[in-house]
A = this chain, B = another copy of it.
Amino acid sequence: MSKAATTRTMILTKSFELIYKQGYQTTSIDNILATTQVTKGAFFYHFKNKDEMGLAMINEVIFPGMYASLVKPLLDAKSPINDIYEMMRNVLLKVPFLRAKYGCPAVNLIEEMSPLNEDFKQALVKLTDQWQAAIKESINQGKATKEIRGDVNAEYVACFVVAGYSGIRNMGKAMGSSCYPIYLQELKNYLKQLG
């Protein structure tokens, strides 16, 4: 990787860490520069403005990271009830970087930036859409193998599960991680009853 590309990547990853913990608007460019040792000239050489950097961060850091945790585990689904539960359990309990106190980077950004920046919103909707589609497809495969009841609406289940995840991430920020296992147990009950 060239030195310039290293600089760009460092800006994006460090910005991601700061924004994850502080929020997008609270994280100033000067704040990013101070923690990266990158100068202002370098920052504005690589990004036209703060929002362009933020969009690049969503597309190049958040999207790939969340895709790997949320969508990929469902693509070679064998048993949707188990696969969806395990995917959720892994995201909530096994991804070391994500802390209950700070929630989920994608959920945070939807919350903070959806009403304020159309480009951010689009990029985050794309992630949500793909996650929902993967859950829906997984459920539909389960219906084909009769693991899931025929009267279950896959799209509704996908929406319900995604909402549950966003919500428990929100709750976790206020109540701490102790609500995660409770949520997971009831998610398991909900999923079981689909079969």
A residues sitting closer than 8 Å to B (CB atoms) are 21-23, 25-26, 101-103, 107-108, 110-112, 114-116, 121, 124-125, 128, 153, 155-157, 159-160, 162-171, 173-175, 179, 182-183, 185-187, 189-190, 193
> Please, which residues of chain B bring their CB within 8 A of the CB of A186?
153, 156-157, 159-160
Q: Is A164 a contact partner of B164 (Cβ separation < 8 A)?
A: yes
Q: List 10 A-B contacts (CB under 8 A).
A: A103-B111, A110-B173, A111-B112, A114-B173, A124-B174, A125-B175, A156-B182, A159-B183, A160-B182, A166-B168
Mostly helix, strand, loop or mixed at chain A's interface? Answer: helix
A-B contact sample (19 more), CB < 8 A, given A166-B170, A167-B170:
A23-B112, A101-B114, A101-B115, A107-B111, A107-B170, A111-B112, A112-B112, A114-B173, A128-B175, A155-B182, A159-B182, A160-B190, A163-B164, A163-B170, A164-B167, A166-B167, A166-B171, A190-B190, A193-B193
Which listed residue (B23, B101, B171) contacts A25, Cβ 8 A?
B23
> Please, which residues of chain B bring their CB within 8 A of the CB of A155?
182
Each complex incorporates copies of this chain amounting to 2
Q: How far, in whole Å, are A107 and B166 apart by their CA atoms in the complex?
A: 11
A134 to chain B, nearest CB (A): 16
A154 to chain B, nearest CB (A): 11
